[in-house]
Structure 1
Amino acid sequence: MQTKELNNIHRMYYVAVVCPPEIDEKVLQYKHWMRQRFGCKAALKSPAHLTLIAPFWLEEELEQTLKETTKQFQTELLPFEIRLNNFDHFSNRVLFVHTEANESLARLQFETTEHFQQQFPAAVKTDNRPFHPHVTIANRDMSPSAFLKAWEHFSKEDYAASFIADQISLLKLQEGKWHVIEEKKF
């Protein structure tokens, strides 16, 4: 009985374009600023990234198949530039670095979702919301009053960076942090 229970352990995963270290370091400074002033810690669990497939639960015994699915991803897209420009927010619950509209990124998100849904239709769901790529600074644990103070600061702050997207990354939640466990260049 205990063996069967172990085989049904589910873990959380997501697929993203992970930002390069220099952008991750800068975004991490913003995340620490939010933690120091408002106690926001949830966004510190992930590296700076653009989510392609939102977090989903999957039986851990299928992890190797999930990694293989990542390795098998193919696209005709060539590496492309992603531009980050200043800050934005979703209502008063999510504060983020704004990502400029990008047709290649939208296509990558569509193709990635389609690819993973073929292999894991029960786990990877279609998100009915419009694709709105962003690099999160603070989210679930930000109070509305903290948002108002933080937005007053970030709305006046300038930030611009760009990088070349040339791979997707599979991340897994382990011991309270998200870690890249597989990557696939395109």
Structure 2
Amino acid sequence: MHSYYIALIPPNYILEHVNQVIQYFADKYNSRGALRSPPHITLQPPFKWDEANITKLEQHLTNFASRRTPVPVTLNQYGAFAPRVIYIDVVNTPELTTLQLDLMTYMESIGIYDPNTKTRPFVPHMTVAYRDLTKQNFKVAWQEFEHRQVNFEFGADNICLLLHDGKRWNVLSKFQFS
């Protein structure tokens, strides 16, 4: 059994910017956790799946994506899950919420279920400083980033399946919307 999750990954020009911010947190605040995954917006939290059946999972995701249309995504300002996580906030639009809810429902129909999603609201975000950020460094970093401006918009036209290789998360497959 391997670990996977499903996410939206922004276009390269946004990836480059966000990766620079993540590297800044690694260098200045010793928060390296966000380096273990490409910048992303999680739609389906990590789950286990038998590697022998990966083709079946990919077929399911192809089927799901083929019935979707692109979703507008806006990255706006910085946010935090105090006292350890700093992220770029993603505007929670009805289209994005619907995509996430539909995916969760679809995944549940094929046996993938995360009980936390029933009790926690969907808070779309792109993590730049992970839980390895100390509380002391969080306070200093949050003062630096709390009012910093960031604004990007893109049309999400696919979802990505990421696989954990034992050290980091990597994009395994992309599933194009119609």
Normalising by structure 2, we get a TM-score of 0.92
Structure 2: which 5+ residue stretches go unaligned? none
Q: Residue 124 of structure 1 corresponds to which residue in structure 2? A: 113
How far the C-alpha of 1:56 sits from its partner, in A, is 1.2
Q: Is the 8 A contact 2:65 2:158 kept in 1?
A: no
Counterpart code for 2:100: Q
Displacement after TM superposition at 1:82 (Å)? 0.7
Structure 1: runs of 5 or more not aligned: 1-9
2:158 to 167, 170, 173: 167
- Residue 135 of structure 2: aligned partner: 144
Query: How far, CA to CA, are the matches of 1:61 and 1:76 in structure 2?
Result: 26
Q: Which residue of 1 aligns with 2:39?
A: 48
Moved over 3 A (4+): 74-77
2:149 to 158, 161, 171: 158
Deviation per CA, 1:73-106: give whole Å up to 9, x if none: 1475431211111100012121000111211010
Q: Note the alpha carbon deviations across 1:31-87, whole angstroms, 9 max, x for none.
A: 111111121111111111110001112222222222222112147543121111110
TM-score normalised per structure 1: 0.88
Task: Tell me the amino acid that sits aligned with residue 69 of structure 1.
Answer: H
Q: Between Structure 1 and Structure 2, how many residues are aligned? A: 175
Q: Which of 1 and 2 has greater Rg?
A: 1
* 8 A Cα contact 2:5 2:46, kept in partner: yes
Q: Quote the RMSD (CA, aligned, Å).
A: 1.5
Q: Give the counterpart of 1:79 among 65, 70, 76.
A: 70
Q: Report the identity percentage.
A: 29
Taking the aligned partners of 2:171 and 2:67, their CA distance within structure 1 comes to 23
Question: What is the CA–CA distance in structure 1 between the aligned matches of 2:140 and 2:35, rounded to whole Å?
Answer: 19
